[in-house]
Amino acid sequence: MVVVQSLVKSFDEIKAVDGVSFEVKQGTCFGLLGPNGAGKSTTISMIVGTLNPDQGQVLIDGQAIKSETDPIRQKIGYVPQEIALFDEINCHQNLSFFASLYGVDKAEMEARANEVLDIVGLKDRANEPIKDFSGGMKRRLNIAVALIHKPKLLVLDEPTVGVDPQSRNAIFDVLEKLKADGMTLIYTSHYMEEIERMCDQIAIIDNGKVMIEGTLEQLLGTLESRFKLTFAFSDAETTEQVDKLFNEPAFGKVIRMDNTIEMLPTNYARAIAESVNRLQQNNIAFEDLRVERGSLEQVFLQSTGKSLRD
């Protein structure tokens, strides 16, 4: 459905996008994960045709956007990072305006407006001015506007910025429904939880470059361990003693920090059983044991050498 080939874009001296390539299959959700300023929005702008690349191209169903009026644009629905709506008018009027830009005729527009407002759960608020809407409602309408002309591809640039968890879940419900109906999605975010939940294929982007790409499983598979075990002890002396006990290949990489021991085992089930057994044999009590699943945060850290939250 979408082929992004070696995109390059510079603004003055700054190279915002530096050779980004990926493919998005029909009916799947592709996630671009990266910190602010990584080049996600610039890449999205080139995909939706509001910015021309310096090099490279974007193909939608095998065709590049050649002009401002290229009909290929009809296939794309774009949800900008900002709430790009007219606050002074109501839902229906906003939808009607953007529908007119895509050449949707009036009769069809009425039906489509009802349909998309139903999808985003705003059907009963159609005639209310949106200035009184909550942030979450505006975000949902922001998505509805992008759907009004029935696109095949929905491109969402950080669509949940500044919304509460409940509204975020409502947005995910909408997107999951669209995906189930066969729509192709490209989704950018710096929230790894969102990307993990939504996306079939993920690219981690930093400094304008794709650092790593694959399914969630593939990305997590690049980690030294899929799980991290953390033992907490009462004092530093005990912790030091345990560090020596766990110094075996079966426990994987072991890191001692103050009164805790972090373990990155290759086989976590075996490691848990072995480590608890070893502690009991040596009459060492632990105060806490946590098991954490490997995350995209760790993948990002491993790929870029820095935290996603930095």
Partner 1 sequence: MLKHILAIALKDLRLFAADRKGMLISFMVPIAIASFFTFVMGGGASDPKAATKIAVLVVNEDNDPITTQMIEKLKSSDAIAIEVTDRKAAETAVKEGKKSVAVVFPKGFAEKAKTALFAGDPPQIEELYDPVKSIERQVVQGALMQTLMQEISRAGMSGDGAINNMQLAMSAETDPKRKESWQRMIDEMSQLNRSGSVAGSTENGGGMKQPFEIKATSMTASSSSDADKNATRAHIFGGMAVQGIMFFGIDAAMGLLRDRRTGVWTRMKAAPVASTSLVLGKGLGSWAIAFFVFSGVMLFGMAVFGFRVEGSWLGLVLVTLAAALMTGGFGLFVASLGKTEAQSRGLSVLAVLMMSMLGGAWFPMSMMPKAVQTVSAIIPVRWAVDGVDAVMTRGSGLAGTLVPVAWLCGFAAVFTTVAMTRLRKT
Site residues (CB under 8 A) for partner 1? 45, 48-50, 68-71, 73-74, 76, 78, 80-86, 98, 101-103, 145
Adjacent-strand bridge partners of 184:
153
Minimum Å gap between C-beta 126 and partner 1 is 20
* Choice between 77 and 265, CB closer to partner 1: 77
Question: Of the two residues 28 and 45, which places its CB atom closer to partner 1 in the complex?
Answer: 45
CB of 48 to partner 1, least distance (A): 5
Task: Name the residue among 110, 123, 15, 4 with its Cα closest to residue 56.
Answer: 4
Nearest to 203, CA basis, from 216, 194, 191, 212: 212
Return the structure tokens found at 301.
């850290």
Whole-number minimum distance, CB 189 to partner 1, in Å?
17
Residue whose CB is less far from partner 1, 138 or 228: 138
Q: How far apart are CA 228 and CA 294, in angstroms?
A: 7
Any residues with CB less than 8 A from the CB of 236 and at least 6 apart, and which? 258, 259
145 versus 216: smaller Cβ distance to partner 1 = 145
Shortest Å distance, C-beta 153 to partner 1: 12
Q: Compute the least distance from the CB of residue 151 to partner 1, in Å.
A: 10
Distance of closest approach, residue 49 Cβ to partner 1, in angstroms: 6
Instruction: Name which of 84 and 276 has its Cβ closer to partner 1.
Output: 84
283's torsion region: left (phi>0), alpha (psi -120 to 50) or beta?
Answer: left
As measured in angstroms, the least distance from the Cβ of 23 to partner 1 is 21
CB of 53 to partner 1, least distance (A): 15
